[in-house]
Structures are given as C-alpha cells and as structure tokens.
Amino acid sequence: MMFLNPPARLRALPDRWANLLRPLWMILFGLAILTVIISTIYAVRATYWMQPVIYQYGLDFDVTTEGDLKVGTYAPRERSRPCR
C-alpha cells in the first residue's frame, strides 16, 4: 500500500500568482457571505410570511422536513376574554 507523504512545508506562491489570487479569493468569499445572507432572508420569509392567496381562503400550509405538504384551515388567534 502506497502512502502519500505531503511535504512538511508548502512552497510559497510567487508574487505574481498571489497578486492575482488575493482579489479572486476576496470576491469569492464575499459571494459566499452574500449567499448565506440571502438564503437566511429567504428561509425566514418563507417560514413566517403568509401567502395572500392561501390566506384569502382561510387556509394554512406547512412543509415538513421529510417534504410532506400539510394543508389545513387557518386558526387565527382569538382575542383574550377579560376575566370576570
């Protein structure tokens, strides 16, 4: 069985390559952060936003983690009755 022995220390990149890769790395890192932020906004919006067409008919839906879609009637919060 053959084992791969990596060097104890990697070679430094030439300055020419480092100057090209540094801005590329920053752009890709920024895009990754932007993707996480947009995905979070989308997930929160999809979770807590009631769709007008569904709300119009008094329905509500829930998508489970297994992918099942459950549709039912919307149960609005009732006003609390004052104690007597």
pLDDT digits (tens, 9 = 90+) for 7-57: 788 888 899 999 999 999 999 999 999 999 999 999 888 777 766 667 777
Q: Report yes or no on 54 lying in a domain.
A: yes
Q: How many angstroms separate the Cα of 10 from the Cα of each of 6, 20, 36, 60, 62?
A: 9, 19, 31, 57, 51
Residue 40 one-letter amino acid: T
Look at residue 22 in the predicted model and tell me its pLDDT. 93
Q: Report yes or no on 66 lying in a domain.
A: yes
Q: Report yes or no on 84 lying in a domain.
A: no
Q: Structural domain of residue 39, as residue ranges? A: 15-73
| Number of domains the chain contains | 1
Q: Report yes or no on 46 lying in a domain.
A: yes
